Structure 1
Amino acid sequence: MTLENKRIILTGATSGIGKSLAIRLAKHGAKLAVCGRSSEKMEVLTAELQSAGQAHYSKTFSITDENEIVQFVKESAEQLGGVDVLINCAGANTARGQIGEIKTADLDEMYAVNFRAPFIFMREAYNLMKPHQNGTVVNVLSTVCLFSNENIAAYTATKAGIEAMTKVFRKEARREGIKVCSVYPGGVDTPFRAADRPDYMSADSVADAIIAMLNMPEDVAVHDLILRPMVEDNF
């Protein structure tokens, strides 16, 4: 198996796990379509991808906008010549606090980013992959789907929602030869966290694990990939 010339759409590509994935996938020779919400961060990423010498397409927009997502997937397929892999990596955890403290507007925003947007990306990519009876969808979730942690109910609920949809989608998509994988990272030391956690996994390590999963033989379908640092015991 090889990722060379694989046509990959990657969301949340400008920071954290997404950025590590983008750079590593480019070094593996993949053709990338990447999106993020920060123009400044996208400029930095684009420069790094250009240095890798691999074809890529990039666009900056808010994934809370359905029309922008639909247009981006369409443009990505046109620029890359099709879509082999979708990696939903974008996510947000902006409504920390107990349920009694969470504002409805904050919950709505997290729902739009963590659940609604990945669904739209899945739907649009699936409809492009289906005629070819081949493809892979990777949804980067979180171990919060597997263990209840206080003060992050909104994040947990929105991630658990897309996890449930992913499980149904996996059964539907297999009829078309399309693989669907849920990735559950535990603690990762990225800017996503308010404080540094050097005892947690690095974004590069998580990206390498996802790439190893993508490099599995064609007759292997990985349904769930759970990744945790050794210091984590919430399982």
Structure 2
Amino acid sequence: MSATGLDGRSVIVTGAGSGIGRAAALAFAAEGARVVVADLNPESATAVVQEIEAAGGGAVAVTGDLSEQETVDRVTATAVERFGGVDVLVNNAGIMDRMSAVAEVGDAEWERVIRVNLTAPFLLTRAVLPHMLAAGRGAIVNTASEASLRGSAAGAAYTASKHGVVGLTKSLAVMYRDKGIRTNAIAPGGTRTGITVDLEPGAHGPAVLGAYMGNIGRPAEAAEQAAAIVFLASDAASNINGVILPVDNGWAAV
């Protein structure tokens, strides 16, 4: 029996094909959880499932755009049908913006970032809540960002989306705490994930933000972010609810 209480639990991790999501999926599986590996990229999702199964764990891949209801429904149904319910939801999938200042943000950039980073977690959370409520328990962990704590860590669209994730997290924590459901978030600082940012040369946003990037400190490894996610989802955090936990090597303290 895992000391975290995660052994045998059904866990959904989004963006699980790479980066923090992959590290989280592997970490949950190592604790004995059964993992729905949700990702946009079929090859990446399948590779993570194979890695988990090779280590003796249980996992299944579901691929598609999580900002679309049809994908959300498939992810939820797969967890229920294959693993008997949804004990833990990790809303981790997200995309960066172009570090654009408000005057530089086009409609397409704004709408896509908000849709993926904020609307998709809302849709999936709404879908799994009936199952958690029926079970009388559940843990939700969202991936916010250092950009959810300040205005100097990303562009306008990304910053607004991650501030929205914080609001969603706190609302869920209050609304469902008496139903046995906890909701928390991590706020990663700089992390080695391979994500690149498509900067517009000479744009105002990146020029302003560059002055603040020296405060990042040592970038985290994806596994360090995953460890915080697993902790917040585990029984060890049974009275922690509504917390936004910076995992940023002290960047939030600067």
Q: Decide: shared fold, TM above 0.5.
A: yes
Give structure 1 stretches of 5+ with no counterpart: none
| TM-score of the superposed pair, with normalisation by structure 1 | 0.91
Are 1:99 and 1:151, in contact at CA under 8 Å, matched by a contact in 2?
Answer: no
Equivalent residue number for residue 101 of structure 1: 104
1:50 and 1:120 mapped to 2: Cα distance?
29
1:226 equivalent in alignment to 2:229: no
1:81-119 deviations in whole A, cap 9, x for unaligned? 111110101011133222222111111111110011000
RMSD over aligned CA atoms reads: 2.1
Equivalent residue number for residue 92 of structure 1: 95
1:147-196 deviations in whole A, cap 9, x for unaligned? 111651110001111221221111111121111112111111211245xx
Are 1:95 and 1:103, in contact at CA under 8 Å, matched by a contact in 2?
Answer: no
Q: Structure 1 residues 68 and 229 mapped into 2: Cα distance closer, same or farther (>3 Å)?
A: same
2:154 and 2:58 mapped to 1: Cα distance?
42
1:46-57 to 2 correspondence within 5 Å?
46-57=49-60
1:185 and 1:152 mapped to 2: Cα distance?
16
1:35 is paired with a residue whose SS is strand
1:12 equivalent in alignment to 2:43: no
The counterpart of 2:139, out of the listed 133, 136, 140, is 136
AA paired with 1:141?
A
Are 1:95 and 1:107, in contact at CA under 8 Å, matched by a contact in 2?
Answer: no
Equivalent residue number for residue 212 of structure 1: 231
2:133 and 2:191 mapped to 1: Cα distance?
34
1:76 is paired with a residue whose SS is helix
2:72 and 2:94 mapped to 1: Cα distance?
15
The counterpart of 2:161, out of the listed 137, 144, 158, is 158
1:218 and 1:147 mapped to 2: Cα distance?
26
Q: Structure 1 residues 45 and 160 mapped into 2: Cα distance closer, same or farther (>3 Å)?
A: same
Give structure 2 stretches of 5+ with no counterpart: 198-215
1:133 and 1:216 mapped to 2: Cα distance?
15
The counterpart of 2:173, out of the listed 156, 170, 175, is 170
1:203 equivalent in alignment to 2:222: yes
The aligned length equals: 233
Are 2:186 and 2:228, in contact at CA under 8 Å, matched by a contact in 1?
Answer: no
Are 2:88 and 2:233, in contact at CA under 8 Å, matched by a contact in 1?
Answer: no
Regions of 4+ moved over 4 Å: none
